[in-house]
Amino acid sequence: MHFGMTEEQAMIVDTTRAFVENELYPHELEVERTGHLDMDLIRDIQKKAMEAGLYAANMPEEVGGAGLDTLSWLLYEKELGRANYALHWTGVARPSNILLAGTEEQKEKYLYPCMKGEKWDCLAMTEPGAGSDLRGMKASARQDGDDWILNGTKHFISHADIADFSIVFMASGEEDTPRGPKKKITAFFVDKGTPGFTIREGYRNVSHRGYTNAVLEFDDCRLPSSAILGEVDKGFDVANTWLGATRLQVAATCLGRAERALQHATEYAAERKQFGQLIGKFQGVSFKLADMALELKAANLLTWEAGWKFDQGTVTETDMSMAKLKATEMLAFVADEAIQIHGGMGLMDELPLERIWRDARVERIWEGTSEIQRHIISREMLRALGA
């Protein structure tokens, strides 16, 4: 593996970082204090992101994206991750690559408008009673002639309030397995405004202010068979094929935020004086900086290795789980230590540290909890021994 960046990758990093610092940083404080992201601001950022070639950069060239390899895409995500999540996720949108699994008709209706910034998508899996255990979902879809009838509730659905359509995963049957009955899952496109489909305001979140979540309710919501994404009862196959890299995306954004926090802490330690000398000269501070840098580098290496292996076609679930687990837990550690080095000032919202600290908490929960990642890693270790 080559550890240096190519010229193209260095350009991606420089371009994205400059965009983040010039176009996103100036709006962070207002979004954090109000918890609101104005649509005019989103459109303004969106326009500038398109002009800079950063919009939908995660997608293949054949559908209008940048065609980045996985490692380059993760470098791009890392730079975006430095900023408030709502600003970079809605303004510099990256349509879900699960849209690539659609038919040509579905791509015309959903994918291409997302690529042009005309529509936003959202994914709906989680339910009040089914978080880590997605097979436990109760929201269901039953066939009625050529149509399907959807009933149930989804929650914690990110930015569903601005999404023009949702990709919803529903229990569509049951199958017998050696470990007992297991739900079959089917994925559906559901347009906003479809009768029987209601979007309600979600919960106020301590992390990622401005990045809203919603509750989706389905009450005899009727859809044609053409709304199915993939095949009937094969929703998990679609999800596993197209959503695997999202754990690496989470890891990459955590790296960006941790790097920003460490930079603040290092600069502060190099200029703040107490007891007649710079605080960076005290081992109580300097050793913290060393440990923060060590943990950040370890998380970087795990993430870049997983990205590189993804491009080689050799990545495993363990690779991605290790990257996600290490990066998210590293961010929590670095954010906490950065605040400790700053003392009381670290908790003031004039600095981004208290935001990074708050935002870090959700990263160990969504896209698979830390416990789920440890389960995946240990399961692969034990399977190798036949256990």
* Domains of the chain from N-terminus onward: 7-94 (1.10.540.10), 121-233 (2.40.110.10), 238-384 (1.20.140.10)
C-alpha separations of 7 from 11, 170, 337 in Å: 6, 44, 34
What are the DSSP calls for 272-337, one per residue?
-EETTEEGGGSHHHHHHHHHHHHHHHHHHHHHHHHHHHHHHT---HHHHHHHHHHHHHHHHHHHHH
Cα angle 377-326-250, degrees, rounded to a multiple of 5 = 100
CA distance 353 to 373: 26
Query: What is the predicted pLDDT for the residue at 70?
Result: 93
Q: Phi and psi dihedrals of 151, rounded to 5?
A: -140, 145
Query: What is the predicted pLDDT for the residue at 170?
Result: 96
C-alpha separations of 103 from 106, 108, 231 in Å: 5, 9, 11
Each residue's pLDDT expressed in tens, for the chain with a length of 387 residues: 677 889 999 999 999 999 999 999 999 999 999 988 899 999 999 999 999 999 999 899 999 999 999 999 999 999 999 999 999 988 888 888 899 999 999 999 999 999 999 999 999 999 998 776 777 789 999 999 999 999 999 999 999 999 999 999 999 988 877 777 888 999 999 999 999 999 999 998 889 999 999 999 999 999 999 999 999 999 888 887 776 688 999 999 999 999 999 999 999 999 999 999 999 999 999 999 999 999 999 999 999 999 999 999 999 999 999 999 999 999 999 999 999 999 999 999 999 999 999 999 999 999 889 999 999 999 999 998 988
Query: What is the predicted pLDDT for the residue at 135?
Result: 74
C-alpha separations of 164 from 114, 148, 188, 199 in Å: 9, 20, 14, 11
70-80 helix and 283-312 helix, angle to the nearest 10 degrees: 140
Strand partners, 141: 150
C-alpha separations of 231 from 110, 157, 188, 228, 241 in Å: 17, 23, 10, 7, 13
Query: What is the predicted pLDDT for the residue at 182?
Result: 84
Query: What is the predicted pLDDT for the residue at 174?
Result: 85
C-alpha separations of 201 from 41, 50, 151, 271, 305 in Å: 21, 29, 19, 45, 39
pTM of the model: 0.92
Q: Which of 79, 317, 367, 371 is catalytic?
A: 367
Which residue type does 34 have? T
Query: What is the predicted pLDDT for the residue at 1?
Result: 61
CA nearest to 267, candidates 327, 352, 358:
352
104 is catalytic: no
